[in-house]
Chains A and B, each alone.
With several copies, the nearest count.
Chain A
Amino acid sequence: MSEHVNAVQPEPDMIQLLTPEGQRVEHPDYPLDITDDEIAALYRDLVLVRRIDTEAIALQRQGELGLWASLLGQEAAQIGAGRALRPHDMAFPSYREHGVAWCRGVDPLTLLGLFRGTNLGGFSPYEHNFNLYTIVIGAQTLHATGYAMGVVRDGAVGTGDPDRDTAVLAFFGDGASSQGDVNESFVFAAAGNLPVVFFCQNNQWAISEPVERQSRIPLFQRASGFGFPGVRIDGNDVLASLAVTRKALDDARNAQGPRLIEAFTYRMNAHTTSDDPTRYRLGAETETWKLRDPIARVKAYLVRNAQLPVDFFDDVEAESLRLAEHVRIGCRALPNPTPASPFDALFVDMPDEVREQRDEFVEFVASIEEAAEV
Chain B
Amino acid sequence: MSEKITMAKALNNGLRKSMEDDPKVVIMGEDVGKLGGVFRITDGLQKDFGEDRVIDTPLAESGIIGTAVGLAIRGYRPVCEIQFDGFVFPGFDQIVSQVAKMHTRSAGLVRIPITIRIPFGGGIGAVEHHSESPESYFAHAPGLKVVSCSNPSDAYWMIQQSIRSDDPVIFFEPKRRYWSKGEIEDAPLPLHRARVARAGTDVTVAAYGPMVTTALEAATVAADEGRDVEVLDLRSLSPLDMPTILESVQKTGRLIVVHEAWRSVSVSSEVAARVQEQAFYALEAPVLRVTGYDTQYPPSRLEEEWLPNVDRILDAVDRSLSY
- Whether A associates with B in a native complex is yes
Give A residues with C-beta under 8 Å from B.
66-67, 90, 92, 113-126, 131-132, 134-137, 139, 141-154, 175-176, 178-181, 184-185, 187-188, 191, 206-209, 213-214, 274-275, 279-280, 336-337, 339, 341-349, 351-354, 357, 361, 364-365, 368
B287 to chain A, nearest CB (A): 18
Given contacts A115-B127, A181-B62, A120 and B70 within 8 Å (CB-CB):
no
CB pair B74 A147 closer than 8 Å: yes
CB pair A178 B60 closer than 8 Å: yes
Q: A328–B78 Cα gap in the complex (Å)? A: 42
CB pair A280 B69 closer than 8 Å: no
CB pair A180 B60 closer than 8 Å: yes
CB pair A125 B104 closer than 8 Å: no
The residue on A at minimum CB distance from B28 is A149
Residue B9 lies at the interface, judged by CB distance under 8 Å to chain A:
no
Binary contact readout B68-82 vs A (1 if CB under 8 angstroms, 0 otherwise): 111111111010000
A-B pairs with lowest CB-CB distance, top 10:
A146-B70, A142-B66, A150-B74, A146-B67, A117-B300, A351-B239, A208-B35, A178-B58, A348-B166, A184-B63
In the complex, 30 of the A-B residue pairs with CB atoms within 8 angstroms, ordered by the A residue number, are A66-B125, A114-B128, A115-B127, A117-B125, A119-B107, A120-B105, A120-B127, A120-B128, A122-B106, A126-B109, A132-B106, A136-B89, A142-B66, A146-B68, A146-B74, A147-B71, A153-B52, A153-B53, A180-B63, A188-B60, A208-B33, A213-B58, A275-B38, A336-B302, A337-B302, A342-B104, A349-B166, A353-B294, A357-B295, A364-B312
Given contacts A66-B125, A187-B60, A147 and B70 within 8 Å (CB-CB):
yes
Given contacts A121-B106, A280-B34, A136 and B63 within 8 Å (CB-CB):
no
Kindly list chain B residues whose C-beta atoms are within 8 Å of the C-beta of A121.
105-107, 128
CB pair B105 A125 closer than 8 Å: no
B298 to chain A, nearest CB (A): 4
Given contacts A122-B107, A139-B97, A346-B142, A187 and B58 within 8 Å (CB-CB):
yes
CB pair B103 A348 closer than 8 Å: yes
CB pair A191 B58 closer than 8 Å: yes
CB pair A125 B110 closer than 8 Å: yes
B49 to chain A, nearest CB (A): 12
Q: A353–B251 Cα gap in the complex (Å)? A: 22
Tell me which residues from 296 to 318 in chain B have a Cβ below 8 Å from any Cβ of chain A.
296, 298-303, 305-306, 311-312, 315
B1 to chain A, nearest CB (A): 30
Kindly list chain B residues whose C-beta atoms are within 8 Å of the C-beta of A208.
31, 33-35, 56
Residue B98 lies at the interface, judged by CB distance under 8 Å to chain A:
yes
Q: A120–B106 Cα gap in the complex (Å)? A: 7
CB pair B90 A341 closer than 8 Å: no
Kindly list chain A residues whose C-beta atoms are within 8 Å of the C-beta of B53.
153
